A and B are shown apart, each in its own frame.
Chain A
Amino acid sequence: MNSVKALEINNLSKTYRDGTVALRGIDLVVEEGEFFGLLGPNGAGKSTTIGIMTSLVNKTGGTIRCFGVDLDEDPARVKRQIGLVPQEFNFNQFEPPEQIVMQQAGYYGLPRSVAGQRTEKYLRKMGLWDKRATSARMLSGGMKRRLMIARALVHEPKLLILDEPTAGVDIELRRATWSLLEEINAEGTTVILTTHYLEEAESLCRRIAIIDRGRVIENTDKKSLLSKLNIETFIFDLQSAAPAGLLLGGYTHRLTDSTTLEIDVLKEHSLNAVFEMLTTQDVNVMSMRNKANRLEELFVEMVEANEGQPSDG
């Protein structure tokens, strides 16, 4: 068990000048080397939390420690350890990628020779080296996202924070980004990811926290979290039309069309029994899949449950 905490957030609160309460005393711990997911609906407080961690938002109360260093006591040392990939493009669109990444290296105090090597390394890694002299505004949306990742990595941070890094990118690029993030994490960088794609969190993150209305309503490892899911719906694609009066004792089911069968399976039930019943009734299954992302179902369940809780804001 590694005792070093990449991030420790204690009782973090934020009230904006207009009186909006964004965070109501958040506690979070991220271990070194983790791939941590921060989930929550729009306006839950995810971006505010990231903003405070990266000094873009002033906190109202609480403490943040990054690799044991208090943000209030030594902000420069904390900032040096963090790389940020924000949600929106925040680079000068008129500058070329090489200049953007080189400048970022300069802001972090990297000598020019080191900055040059690192810029080439990360632009190549992101597949942008050939575009290094092209004005950033001419890059595609996916390229711009990769440029922001290269920029965040140039000072080789110990903690990489990504705020919805795959928002609006196509499936192919999203998968490529996932591979890249897994690679970065495997090399020892702690990764914190916020995302709306719950499939992404389920696929990448080992620990997940859910924030809603400025509170952490869940913070656990992915396996424990998914075990809280009581029911899952599976979709079976049948080889031929299902027989009339199909019997699946103990399982709620429905036909969405003649060859597509939806079955609700409680967590304590097994799928083997379902297959046995289908086989005895001569129903051949061609393929099977989850109706919705498991984490998504749980997420919706938890957020809906939290809506019933009193708000002190």
Chain B
Amino acid sequence: MNFVHDGLAKEFEHVTREGERKHIGELFESGDALMQEIAYDLINGDHEGVDRLTKQALEDGYTANAILDDGLIAGMAIVGVKFRDNLIFVPEVLIAARAMKAGMAHLEPILSASGVEPLGTIIMGTVKGDLHDIGKNLCIMMLRGSGFIVHDLGVDTKPDEFVDAVMEHDAQIVGMSALLTTTMPNMGVTIEALEEAGLREDIKVMLGGAPVTESFAEDMGADGYGDNAIEAVDRAKEFVGTFSEDGVNPD
């Protein structure tokens, strides 16, 4: 790591796990002052700062990919660690997400036009009967920022809507969210619907949401569980790493 921004260096002290220090530290290896300022402003939810600095970086000749990776995603990685370790909570994550959106508004048109091959296609939705979407939306933002195409089915998504979307978009991954213990069983119902439609063998399913646990995800027949948006990205990357080059699920 190579910190030239004192505030960011202090933020990095919150990253204490060895593997994460190495991984996140590498994101700041370039020691670029402007990228580190963007990351710092994002961590602190300064959306006006991120908006202004992203615009400035593009004018200065930074590529959209560099700003995304070295500024926004690097900052969001520290936000993810702080959230997981209960150093910050959802309001603080929401203002960081708002700042990320401000930066992405400048980058997305450039990234879309660049024709970079996406990492994979994901269908995301909150399950039937559940209208909560904050966690799902954070995951979607991070997944898109990480190079996935994500089709957001919104809230209160019926099992057949997941099935139809997988077929329509030829998706490799389905991500489901639930906030209520009363609606969590609908995750299992949706997985059954994917099985009945003959799609289960071709896709990976990941679950998340405040009351969802890894063991519940296993019980429901999912392939993976993410405790937060960063983990959702990790799971999705692991999944696409398991697919063969023609996109076929080897399991």
Q: Do A and B come from one complex?
A: no
Interface residues, chain B, CB within 8 Å of chain A?
Answer: none
Interface residues, chain A, CB within 8 Å of chain B?
Answer: none
